[in-house]
Amino acid sequence: MDSRQKRDTLGARNAGSRGFLFRMHIFVQRHLHALFASLGQLWRSPLATLMTTFTMAVTLALPAGLLLIVKSTEQVATSWQGEPQISVYIEPSSSEVAIKELIAKIEAHTAVSVLEKISPELGLASFSKLMEMEGVLDLLGGNPLPYVVVLKVEKGFGSSDQLAAWQAELGAMPGVDWVQLDMAWLERLDAILNVFERGVGLIAIFLALAVLMTIGNTIRLSILNRFEEIEVMKLVGAKDAFIRRPFLYGGFWLGLMSGVIALLLLFVSYLLLLGPMQQVLSLYGAMFDLPFEVLAQVTFVVLSGAMLLGWLGAWLAVGRQMSRIEPS
Protein backbone atom coordinates (compact mmCIF):
# COMPACT_ATOMS: atom_id res chain seq x y z
CA MET A 1 0.00 0.00 0.00
CA ASP A 2 1.45 3.38 -1.00
CA SER A 3 1.49 6.35 1.36
CA ARG A 4 -1.60 7.97 -0.21
CA GLN A 5 -3.68 4.84 0.24
CA LYS A 6 -2.38 4.54 3.78
CA ARG A 7 -3.54 8.10 4.44
CA ASP A 8 -6.96 7.25 2.90
CA THR A 9 -7.47 4.43 5.37
CA LEU A 10 -5.61 5.52 8.46
CA GLY A 11 -6.03 9.30 8.05
CA ALA A 12 -8.12 11.72 10.05
CA ARG A 13 -11.49 10.25 10.87
CA ASN A 14 -13.51 13.38 10.19
CA ALA A 15 -12.11 14.04 6.75
CA GLY A 16 -15.60 13.50 5.38
CA SER A 17 -17.23 16.33 7.29
CA ARG A 18 -17.52 19.49 5.21
CA GLY A 19 -19.72 22.53 4.89
CA PHE A 20 -23.47 22.89 4.66
CA LEU A 21 -23.58 22.81 0.85
CA PHE A 22 -21.57 19.59 0.76
CA ARG A 23 -23.87 17.99 3.29
CA MET A 24 -26.91 19.11 1.30
CA HIS A 25 -25.36 17.67 -1.85
CA ILE A 26 -24.83 14.32 -0.11
CA PHE A 27 -28.33 14.47 1.35
CA VAL A 28 -29.91 15.01 -2.08
CA GLN A 29 -27.65 12.36 -3.64
CA ARG A 30 -28.64 9.79 -1.00
CA HIS A 31 -32.35 10.57 -1.34
CA LEU A 32 -32.22 10.32 -5.13
CA HIS A 33 -30.35 7.04 -4.78
CA ALA A 34 -32.98 5.70 -2.36
CA LEU A 35 -35.77 6.95 -4.65
CA PHE A 36 -34.49 5.13 -7.72
CA ALA A 37 -33.13 2.11 -5.83
CA SER A 38 -36.61 1.53 -4.38
CA LEU A 39 -38.03 1.71 -7.91
CA GLY A 40 -35.40 -0.84 -8.96
CA GLN A 41 -36.48 -3.13 -6.10
CA LEU A 42 -40.07 -3.05 -7.38
CA TRP A 43 -38.90 -3.57 -10.95
CA ARG A 44 -36.98 -6.70 -9.94
CA SER A 45 -40.19 -8.37 -8.74
CA PRO A 46 -42.59 -7.37 -11.55
CA LEU A 47 -45.36 -9.89 -10.86
CA ALA A 48 -45.70 -9.02 -7.17
CA THR A 49 -45.54 -5.30 -7.99
CA LEU A 50 -48.17 -5.63 -10.72
CA MET A 51 -50.53 -7.60 -8.49
CA THR A 52 -50.18 -5.13 -5.62
CA THR A 53 -50.56 -2.04 -7.79
CA PHE A 54 -53.52 -3.50 -9.68
CA THR A 55 -55.32 -4.41 -6.44
CA MET A 56 -54.69 -0.93 -5.13
CA ALA A 57 -55.71 0.64 -8.45
CA VAL A 58 -59.10 -1.10 -8.44
CA THR A 59 -59.59 -0.07 -4.81
CA LEU A 60 -58.78 3.54 -5.71
CA ALA A 61 -60.76 3.54 -8.96
CA LEU A 62 -64.01 2.59 -7.26
CA PRO A 63 -64.47 5.73 -5.07
CA ALA A 64 -62.91 7.87 -7.80
CA GLY A 65 -65.43 6.52 -10.32
CA LEU A 66 -68.30 7.17 -7.92
CA LEU A 67 -67.00 10.70 -7.34
CA LEU A 68 -66.92 11.19 -11.09
CA ILE A 69 -70.54 9.99 -11.36
CA VAL A 70 -71.65 12.44 -8.66
CA LYS A 71 -69.85 15.33 -10.36
CA SER A 72 -71.26 14.38 -13.78
CA THR A 73 -74.79 14.08 -12.39
CA GLU A 74 -74.44 17.56 -10.93
CA GLN A 75 -73.35 18.77 -14.36
CA VAL A 76 -76.23 16.97 -16.06
CA ALA A 77 -78.74 18.39 -13.57
CA THR A 78 -77.70 21.94 -14.38
CA SER A 79 -77.92 21.34 -18.12
CA TRP A 80 -81.32 19.68 -17.90
CA GLN A 81 -83.84 20.93 -20.50
CA GLY A 82 -86.84 20.33 -18.24
CA GLU A 83 -85.89 23.54 -16.41
CA PRO A 84 -87.87 24.62 -13.35
CA GLN A 85 -91.06 26.58 -13.75
CA ILE A 86 -92.28 29.46 -11.58
CA SER A 87 -95.94 30.41 -11.30
CA VAL A 88 -96.62 33.97 -10.07
CA TYR A 89 -100.20 34.48 -8.78
CA ILE A 90 -101.27 38.13 -8.95
CA GLU A 91 -103.64 39.64 -6.39
CA PRO A 92 -107.22 39.51 -7.78
CA SER A 93 -107.77 43.15 -6.82
CA SER A 94 -104.95 44.38 -9.09
CA SER A 95 -105.93 46.67 -11.96
CA GLU A 96 -105.02 45.86 -15.58
CA VAL A 97 -102.44 48.66 -15.62
CA ALA A 98 -100.81 47.36 -12.45
CA ILE A 99 -100.73 43.82 -13.89
CA LYS A 100 -99.05 45.07 -17.08
CA GLU A 101 -96.42 46.98 -15.09
CA LEU A 102 -95.77 43.93 -12.90
CA ILE A 103 -95.39 41.62 -15.93
CA ALA A 104 -92.95 44.08 -17.53
CA LYS A 105 -90.86 44.10 -14.33
CA ILE A 106 -90.80 40.28 -14.16
CA GLU A 107 -89.98 39.96 -17.86
CA ALA A 108 -86.96 42.23 -17.40
CA HIS A 109 -85.21 39.61 -15.25
CA THR A 110 -82.36 37.94 -17.10
CA ALA A 111 -83.30 34.45 -15.91
CA VAL A 112 -86.66 34.45 -17.70
CA SER A 113 -86.57 32.42 -20.90
CA VAL A 114 -90.32 32.07 -21.61
CA LEU A 115 -93.15 34.04 -20.03
CA GLU A 116 -96.72 32.86 -20.39
CA LYS A 117 -99.65 35.05 -19.29
CA ILE A 118 -102.78 33.26 -18.12
CA SER A 119 -105.71 35.58 -17.54
CA PRO A 120 -108.50 34.44 -15.18
CA GLU A 121 -110.72 33.82 -18.23
CA LEU A 122 -108.10 31.70 -19.96
CA GLY A 123 -107.41 29.81 -16.75
CA LEU A 124 -111.07 29.02 -16.17
CA ALA A 125 -111.50 27.89 -19.78
CA SER A 126 -108.54 25.53 -19.49
CA PHE A 127 -109.81 24.26 -16.13
CA SER A 128 -113.33 23.65 -17.51
CA LYS A 129 -111.89 21.84 -20.51
CA LEU A 130 -109.55 19.76 -18.43
CA MET A 131 -112.23 18.77 -15.94
CA GLU A 132 -114.95 18.44 -18.61
CA MET A 133 -117.15 20.79 -16.63
CA GLU A 134 -118.87 23.10 -19.10
CA GLY A 135 -120.81 25.94 -17.46
CA VAL A 136 -118.72 25.85 -14.29
CA LEU A 137 -118.82 29.68 -14.19
CA ASP A 138 -122.60 29.55 -13.82
CA LEU A 139 -122.19 27.24 -10.87
CA LEU A 140 -119.58 29.39 -9.15
CA GLY A 141 -121.34 32.63 -9.75
CA GLY A 142 -118.06 34.38 -10.76
CA ASN A 143 -114.48 33.61 -11.84
CA PRO A 144 -112.41 32.92 -8.69
CA LEU A 145 -109.11 32.39 -10.55
CA PRO A 146 -106.38 35.02 -10.32
CA TYR A 147 -104.14 36.33 -13.10
CA VAL A 148 -101.16 33.99 -13.35
CA VAL A 149 -97.76 34.49 -14.99
CA VAL A 150 -95.84 31.28 -15.72
CA LEU A 151 -92.11 31.68 -16.11
CA LYS A 152 -89.65 29.23 -17.56
CA VAL A 153 -86.12 29.79 -16.26
CA GLU A 154 -83.13 30.37 -18.52
CA LYS A 155 -81.01 27.19 -18.97
CA GLY A 156 -78.27 26.84 -16.42
CA PHE A 157 -79.55 29.76 -14.32
CA GLY A 158 -78.12 28.19 -11.24
CA SER A 159 -78.66 26.16 -8.16
CA SER A 160 -81.82 25.51 -6.25
CA ASP A 161 -80.66 28.10 -3.69
CA GLN A 162 -80.58 30.80 -6.35
CA LEU A 163 -84.03 29.83 -7.56
CA ALA A 164 -85.39 29.95 -4.02
CA ALA A 165 -83.88 33.42 -3.60
CA TRP A 166 -85.54 34.60 -6.80
CA GLN A 167 -88.84 33.11 -5.64
CA ALA A 168 -88.63 35.21 -2.48
CA GLU A 169 -87.76 38.31 -4.54
CA LEU A 170 -90.82 37.79 -6.77
CA GLY A 171 -93.06 37.18 -3.75
CA ALA A 172 -92.02 40.53 -2.25
CA MET A 173 -93.10 42.50 -5.35
CA PRO A 174 -96.21 44.65 -4.83
CA GLY A 175 -99.29 43.08 -6.39
CA VAL A 176 -97.95 39.51 -6.13
CA ASP A 177 -100.15 37.25 -4.07
CA TRP A 178 -98.14 34.02 -4.13
CA VAL A 179 -95.24 32.45 -6.01
CA GLN A 180 -94.93 28.73 -6.60
CA LEU A 181 -91.60 27.27 -7.60
CA ASP A 182 -91.82 23.90 -9.26
CA MET A 183 -88.47 22.55 -8.12
CA ALA A 184 -89.43 19.52 -6.10
CA TRP A 185 -87.64 17.24 -8.53
CA LEU A 186 -84.52 19.41 -8.31
CA GLU A 187 -84.61 19.30 -4.52
CA ARG A 188 -85.04 15.57 -4.60
CA LEU A 189 -82.08 15.22 -6.94
CA ASP A 190 -80.02 17.49 -4.70
CA ALA A 191 -80.94 15.39 -1.68
CA ILE A 192 -80.10 12.16 -3.50
CA LEU A 193 -76.77 13.58 -4.65
CA ASN A 194 -76.02 14.68 -1.08
CA VAL A 195 -76.65 11.19 0.26
CA PHE A 196 -74.67 9.71 -2.61
CA GLU A 197 -71.77 12.09 -2.02
CA ARG A 198 -71.64 11.13 1.66
CA GLY A 199 -71.80 7.48 0.70
CA VAL A 200 -68.88 7.98 -1.68
CA GLY A 201 -66.96 9.71 1.14
CA LEU A 202 -67.56 6.76 3.48
CA ILE A 203 -66.65 4.22 0.80
CA ALA A 204 -63.50 6.24 0.07
CA ILE A 205 -62.50 6.11 3.76
CA PHE A 206 -63.02 2.33 3.97
CA LEU A 207 -61.17 1.73 0.72
CA ALA A 208 -58.35 4.06 1.81
CA LEU A 209 -57.95 1.80 4.85
CA ALA A 210 -57.83 -1.18 2.51
CA VAL A 211 -55.11 0.54 0.44
CA LEU A 212 -53.15 1.28 3.64
CA MET A 213 -53.34 -2.36 4.65
CA THR A 214 -52.34 -3.59 1.18
CA ILE A 215 -49.34 -1.26 1.07
CA GLY A 216 -48.49 -2.05 4.69
CA ASN A 217 -48.50 -5.77 3.98
CA THR A 218 -46.39 -5.39 0.82
CA ILE A 219 -43.82 -3.29 2.65
CA ARG A 220 -43.86 -5.68 5.61
CA LEU A 221 -43.00 -8.57 3.27
CA SER A 222 -40.32 -6.45 1.65
CA ILE A 223 -38.82 -5.74 5.10
CA LEU A 224 -38.87 -9.43 5.99
CA ASN A 225 -37.12 -10.20 2.68
CA ARG A 226 -34.43 -7.69 3.57
CA PHE A 227 -34.19 -8.68 7.22
CA GLU A 228 -30.52 -9.60 6.93
CA GLU A 229 -29.64 -6.35 5.19
CA ILE A 230 -31.42 -4.28 7.84
CA GLU A 231 -29.62 -6.21 10.57
CA VAL A 232 -26.21 -5.54 8.99
CA MET A 233 -27.08 -1.88 8.47
CA LYS A 234 -27.97 -1.55 12.13
CA LEU A 235 -24.72 -3.29 13.06
CA VAL A 236 -22.64 -0.70 11.24
CA GLY A 237 -24.59 2.18 12.78
CA ALA A 238 -27.41 3.01 10.37
CA LYS A 239 -30.11 5.17 11.88
CA ASP A 240 -33.77 4.12 11.62
CA ALA A 241 -34.42 7.07 9.29
CA PHE A 242 -31.80 5.79 6.84
CA ILE A 243 -33.19 2.23 6.90
CA ARG A 244 -36.76 3.51 6.63
CA ARG A 245 -36.00 5.73 3.59
CA PRO A 246 -36.09 3.17 0.73
CA PHE A 247 -39.25 1.58 2.10
CA LEU A 248 -41.02 4.95 2.27
CA TYR A 249 -40.00 5.65 -1.31
CA GLY A 250 -41.19 2.13 -2.20
CA GLY A 251 -44.61 3.00 -0.74
CA PHE A 252 -44.60 6.26 -2.67
CA TRP A 253 -43.88 4.46 -5.96
CA LEU A 254 -46.54 1.82 -5.31
CA GLY A 255 -49.03 4.61 -4.59
CA LEU A 256 -48.08 6.56 -7.69
CA MET A 257 -48.23 3.51 -9.96
CA SER A 258 -51.59 2.41 -8.60
CA GLY A 259 -52.90 5.98 -8.96
CA VAL A 260 -51.90 6.02 -12.64
CA ILE A 261 -53.47 2.59 -13.24
CA ALA A 262 -56.65 3.72 -11.42
CA LEU A 263 -56.89 6.74 -13.76
CA LEU A 264 -56.40 4.47 -16.77
CA LEU A 265 -59.18 2.18 -15.51
CA LEU A 266 -61.45 5.20 -15.08
CA PHE A 267 -60.63 6.43 -18.56
CA VAL A 268 -61.41 3.04 -20.13
CA SER A 269 -64.68 2.82 -18.15
CA TYR A 270 -65.58 6.34 -19.29
CA LEU A 271 -65.00 5.43 -22.95
CA LEU A 272 -67.09 2.28 -22.59
CA LEU A 273 -70.00 4.06 -20.88
CA LEU A 274 -69.97 7.33 -22.82
CA GLY A 275 -72.04 6.12 -25.81
CA PRO A 276 -74.89 4.47 -23.87
CA MET A 277 -75.01 7.40 -21.41
CA GLN A 278 -75.30 9.96 -24.21
CA GLN A 279 -78.12 7.89 -25.68
CA VAL A 280 -80.08 7.79 -22.43
CA LEU A 281 -79.55 11.47 -21.62
CA SER A 282 -80.48 12.65 -25.10
CA LEU A 283 -83.96 11.15 -24.50
CA TYR A 284 -84.33 13.67 -21.64
CA GLY A 285 -82.85 16.49 -23.66
CA ALA A 286 -79.67 16.51 -21.56
CA MET A 287 -76.04 16.48 -22.64
CA PHE A 288 -73.25 14.55 -20.95
CA ASP A 289 -70.04 16.42 -20.70
CA LEU A 290 -67.06 16.17 -18.33
CA PRO A 291 -65.53 19.62 -17.96
CA PHE A 292 -61.76 19.98 -17.63
CA GLU A 293 -62.01 21.23 -14.03
CA VAL A 294 -63.80 18.03 -12.93
CA LEU A 295 -61.25 15.85 -14.70
CA ALA A 296 -58.34 17.82 -13.21
CA GLN A 297 -59.91 17.62 -9.76
CA VAL A 298 -60.41 13.85 -9.93
CA THR A 299 -56.90 13.31 -11.36
CA PHE A 300 -55.36 15.40 -8.58
CA VAL A 301 -57.35 13.67 -5.84
CA VAL A 302 -56.55 10.17 -7.16
CA LEU A 303 -52.81 10.76 -7.71
CA SER A 304 -52.07 12.74 -4.56
CA GLY A 305 -54.29 10.47 -2.46
CA ALA A 306 -52.60 7.35 -3.85
CA MET A 307 -49.07 8.69 -3.22
CA LEU A 308 -49.99 9.83 0.28
CA LEU A 309 -51.64 6.52 1.13
CA GLY A 310 -48.63 4.65 -0.26
CA TRP A 311 -46.22 6.67 1.83
CA LEU A 312 -48.38 6.45 4.95
CA GLY A 313 -48.90 2.69 4.62
CA ALA A 314 -45.15 2.19 4.26
CA TRP A 315 -44.43 4.47 7.22
CA LEU A 316 -46.82 2.54 9.47
CA ALA A 317 -45.43 -0.84 8.38
CA VAL A 318 -41.78 0.19 8.70
CA GLY A 319 -42.33 1.84 12.07
CA ARG A 320 -43.87 -1.37 13.40
CA GLN A 321 -41.22 -3.68 11.99
CA MET A 322 -38.14 -1.54 12.63
CA SER A 323 -38.17 -1.94 16.39
CA ARG A 324 -38.51 -5.73 16.00
CA ILE A 325 -35.29 -6.10 14.02
CA GLU A 326 -32.30 -5.94 16.29
CA PRO A 327 -28.90 -7.36 15.35
CA SER A 328 -27.40 -10.04 17.52
Partner 1 sequence: MIQFNHVSKRYGATHDILSDVSFHLEKGEMAFLTGRSGAGKSTLLKMMAMLERPTSGQIVVNERQLCQMKRRHIPELRRDIGIIFQNYKLLNDRTVFDNVALPLIISDAFDRREMARRVRAALDMVGLLSYESALPMTLSGGEQQRVGIARAVVNRPLILLADEPTGNLDPVLSREIMHVFEQFNRVGVTVLVASHDVKLIKEMAYPVLAIDQGKVVRKDLTSQSGSARHG
Interaction site with partner 1 (CB under 8 A): 1, 5-6, 8-13, 15-17, 22-23, 25-27, 29-30, 228-229, 231-240, 242, 326-328
In whole angstroms, give the CA distance from residue 274 to residue 266. 12
Q: How far is the CB of 261 from partner 1 (least distance, A)?
A: 29
Question: Starting from the edge strand earliest in sequence, which strands make up the sheet with 147-153, in order?
Answer: 112-118, 147-153, 85-90, 176-182
Q: How far is the CB of 215 from partner 1 (least distance, A)?
A: 24
Angle formed at CA 252 by CA 251 and CA 257, multiple of 5 degrees: 100
Which CB atom, from 26 or from 224, has the smaller least distance to partner 1? 26
Q: How far is the CB of 310 from partner 1 (least distance, A)?
A: 24
Which CB atom, from 208 or from 223, has the smaller least distance to partner 1? 223
In whole angstroms, give the CA distance from residue 2 to residue 62. 66
Instruction: Report which of 220, 241, 238, 217 is spatially closest to residue 229, judged by C-alpha positions.
Output: 238
Q: How far is the CB of 76 from partner 1 (least distance, A)?
A: 55
CA distance to 1, 189, 235, 243, 298, per residue, from 240 (Å): 36, 53, 12, 5, 36
Q: How far is the CB of 6 from partner 1 (least distance, A)?
A: 8
Q: How far is the CB of 49 from partner 1 (least distance, A)?
A: 18
Which CB atom, from 2 or from 134, has the smaller least distance to partner 1? 2
Q: How far is the CB of 216 from partner 1 (least distance, A)?
A: 23
Which CB atom, from 30 or from 188, has the smaller least distance to partner 1? 30
Which CB atom, from 147 or from 249, has the smaller least distance to partner 1? 249
CB of 170 closer than 8 Å to CB of 83? no
Which CB atom, from 238 or from 281, has the smaller least distance to partner 1? 238
Which CB atom, from 3 or from 93, has the smaller least distance to partner 1? 3
In whole angstroms, give the CA distance from residue 18 to residue 34. 22
In whole angstroms, give the CA distance from residue 95 to residue 107. 18
In whole angstroms, give the CA distance from residue 180 to residue 86. 6
